[in-house]
């Protein structure tokens, strides 16, 4: 019987597994040692990042001539306002204008029935002819009597009586000529004419109605709108400034809408009232506007701007750059290093979003117009382009 010997083969992969386990233990031990060493050494702080620059918008001061204005509330008034009424009694026969029509001086507006006045005028003319005939006869008789008187055929008394008759006829002729002139005037009044250039309003009396010289209701009212007047008020403290401006020459004025969003018309200052209103502490002024486009209308409220003076070569900045502190007004400027600095300034008038700087700026600085609330002295800034400039550059 044959016996079979079984020999077990040694495991060849056992050794790599042991080596892997040993490596893992070594790594773990190294990590633990590093952790222990890190815990025993002082911690080194990481460097802090630098503060970010503050974005701001800037502008360069402009040197220009700046007009200075005084503002006041005003009311537009017509230079002339005429109530058209009749000057003779009679029937309003016809109306020759349209409501709201622009009329010229001398235009016929209405007609009163002229027939009674024409008859009176004709009668006066006939009476003059009769007087002229009587005067001619009296003068003929006077001449005849004077010749007879020289021949001593008639007495001197007769000659004198005839001279009296001639004088009486001359007086009667003069009287009737005056009556004829009166009749002519009355007849002319039957045509109602415009006394001024202006614009008609709403008709108050219709044709066919009887009108009387005693009527209080006008047929129509005409207002002159070219030129036109604005009566406005200023503070009494502005009186000297306005007087000085008038002494220097014609003073320009501008009529603006009440919200000052639209310029309506330009004119000149006419006069300053001769008394100050003690109740309100204001002075009234009168300005004249040609008003060719009828931009101003009687009764309209406007804001009147009086050009007091013009500042020559004034330094101006956007008014948004002005800040106010405990010590007065100041602006932030950007120095050569790109950091913010404070500059005290003395502001003057502010006009159209720009402020005049009387002291503090030379015109070469960069002033911050937006983003000031995040600034302090020494703050590093990043200059941004204004949104309006960006939009303009894209167009």
Token pair belonging to 362: 């030379």
Q: In this structure, what is the dihedral angle of CA atoms 293, 295, 299, 301, given to the nearest 10 degrees?
A: -160
Token pair belonging to 200: 């008609």
Lowest-pLDDT range, 31-45, 98-112, 198-212?
31-45
Q: What is the pLDDT of residues 352-372, one digit of tens each?
A: 889 999 998 988 889 999 988
8 Å CB contact between 268 and 288? yes
For residue 206, pLDDT over 50 is answered with yes
What's the average model confidence in pLDDT over 141-163? 84
Specify the pLDDT at position 272.
94
328-334 and 323-325 beta bridge pairing:
antiparallel
What's the average model confidence in pLDDT over 18-40? 45
Confidence bin at 9 (pLDDT 50/70/90):
very low
220-223 and 81-84 beta bridge pairing:
antiparallel
User: Which are the contacts of 100, defined by CB distance < 8 A and separation ≥ 6?
Assistant: 199, 200, 201
For residue 379, pLDDT over 50 is answered with yes
Pick the residue with more confidence: 8 or 245? 245
Q: What is d(CA 157, CA 137) in angstroms, rounded to the nearest whole number?
A: 19
What's the average model confidence in pLDDT over 380-389? 70
At which residue do the structure tokens 């233990």 appear?
25
Specify the pLDDT at position 159.
82
Specify the pLDDT at position 263.
93
For residue 3, pLDDT over 70 is answered with no
Specify the pLDDT at position 36.
39
Angle value at C-alpha 155, between 150 and 160, nearest 5 degrees: 90
Can you give the C-alpha Rg of the chain in angstroms?
51
Specify the pLDDT at position 13.
44
Specify the pLDDT at position 233.
94
Residue-averaged pLDDT of the chain = 84
For residue 393, pLDDT over 60 is answered with no
**Of the candidates 238, 183, 211, which has an alpha carbon nearest to the alpha carbon of residue 88?**
211
Q: What is d(CA 290, CA 224) in angstroms, rounded to the nearest whole number?
A: 11
Confidence bin at 156 (pLDDT 50/70/90):
confident
What's the average model confidence in pLDDT over 37-51? 45
Confidence bin at 50 (pLDDT 50/70/90):
low
8 Å CB contact between 346 and 382? no
DSSP 380: B
DSSP 339: B
Specify the pLDDT at position 43.
42
For residue 73, pLDDT over 60 is answered with yes
Q: Which percentage of the chain shows pLDDT scores above 70?
A: 85
Confidence bin at 386 (pLDDT 50/70/90):
low
Q: What is the pLDDT of residues 254-288, one digit of tens each?
A: 999 998 889 999 999 999 999 999 999 999 999 99
Token pair belonging to 16: 């790599």
Stated as kind and residue range, the H or E segment containing 49 is none
Q: What is d(CA 343, CA 41) in angstroms, rounded to the nearest whole number?
A: 51
Token pair belonging to 277: 């209103």
| End-to-end alpha carbon distance in the chain | 112
Specify the pLDDT at position 154.
78
Q: How many CB atoms within 10 Å of residue 208? A: 9
User: Which are the contacts of 145, defined by CB distance < 8 A and separation ≥ 6?
Assistant: 154, 158, 159, 162
Q: Which percentage of the chain shows pLDDT scores above 90?
A: 58
Specify the pLDDT at position 199.
94
Confidence bin at 326 (pLDDT 50/70/90):
confident
Q: What is the distance of C-alpha 188 from the center of its chain?
A: 43
**Of the candidates 201, 131, 195, which has an alpha carbon nearest to the alpha carbon of residue 166?**
131
What's the average model confidence in pLDDT over 245-256? 92
**Cis bond before residue 227 (omega within 30° of 0):** yes
**Long-range residue pairs from 240-249, CB within 8 A, at least 24 positions apart, any chain:** 241/70, 241/308, 241/309, 242/70, 242/269, 242/272, 242/283, 242/285, 242/306, 242/308, 243/272, 245/269, 245/306, 245/307, 245/308, 245/309, 246/272
What's the average model confidence in pLDDT over 4-14? 38
Q: What is d(CA 308, CA 240) in angstroms, rounded to the nearest whole number?
A: 10
Pick the residue with more confidence: 252 or 46? 252
Stated as kind and residue range, the H or E segment containing 242 is helix 239-248
Q: What is d(CA 92, CA 77) in angstroms, rounded to the nearest whole number?
A: 30
Q: What is d(CA 305, CA 234) in angstroms, rounded to the nearest whole number?
A: 10
Q: Report the range out of 213-217, 333-337, 388-392 with the highest average pLDDT.
A: 213-217
Q: What is d(CA 269, CA 286) in angstroms, rounded to the nearest whole number?
A: 6
Token pair belonging to 3: 């016996």
8 Å CB contact between 236 and 250? no
Pick the residue with more confidence: 14 or 279? 279
């Amino acid at each position: 019987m044959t016996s079979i010997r079984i020999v077990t083969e040694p495991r060849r992969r056992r050794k790599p597994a042991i080596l892997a386990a040993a490596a893992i233990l070594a790594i773990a031990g190294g990590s633990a040692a590093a952790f222990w060493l890190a815990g025993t050494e002082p911690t080194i702080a990481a460097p802090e990042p630098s503060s970010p620059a503050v974005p701001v918008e800037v502008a360069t001061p402009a040197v220009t001539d700046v007009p200075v204005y005084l503002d006041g509330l005003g009311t537009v008034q017509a230079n002339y306002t005429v109530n058209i009424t009749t000057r003779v009694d009679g029937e309003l026969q016809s109306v020759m204008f349209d409501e709201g029509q622009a009329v010229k001086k001398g235009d016929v507006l209405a007609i009163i029935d002229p027939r009674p006045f024409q008859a009176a005028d004709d009668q006066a003319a006939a009476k003059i002819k009769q007087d002229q005939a009587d005067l001619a006869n009296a003068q003929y008789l006077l001449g005849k009597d004077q010749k007879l008187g020289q021949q001593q055929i008639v007495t001197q008394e007769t000659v004198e009586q005839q001279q009296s008759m001639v004088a009486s006829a001359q007086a009667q002729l003069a009287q009737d000529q005056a009556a004829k002139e009166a009749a002519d005037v009355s007849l002319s009044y039957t045509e109602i004419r415009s006394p001024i250039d202006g614009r008609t309003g709403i008709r108050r009396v219709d044709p066919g109605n009887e009108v009387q010289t005693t009527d209080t209701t006008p047929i129509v009212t005409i207002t002159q709108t070219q030129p036109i007047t604005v009566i406005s008020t200023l503070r009494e403290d502005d009186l000297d400034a306005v007087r000085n401006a008038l002494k220097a020459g014609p003073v320009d004025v501008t009529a603006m809408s009440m919200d000052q969003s639209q310029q309506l018309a330009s004119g000149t200052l006419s006069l300053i009232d001769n008394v100050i209103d003690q109740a309100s502490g204001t002075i009234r002024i009168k300005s004249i506007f040609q008003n060719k486009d009828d931009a101003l209308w009687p009764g309209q409220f406007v804001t009147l701007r009086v050009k007091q003076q013009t500042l020559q070569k004034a330094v101006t900045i956007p008014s948004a750059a002005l800040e106010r502190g405990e010590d007065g007004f100041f602006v932030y400027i950007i120095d050569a290093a790109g950091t913010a600095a404070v500059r005290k300034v003395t502001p003057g008038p502010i006009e159209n979003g720009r402020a005049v700087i009387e002291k503090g700026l030379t015109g070469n600085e960069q002033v911050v117009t937006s983003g000031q609330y995040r600034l302090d002295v020494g703050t590093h800034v990043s200059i941004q382009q204004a949104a309006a400039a960006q939009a303009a550059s894209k167009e």
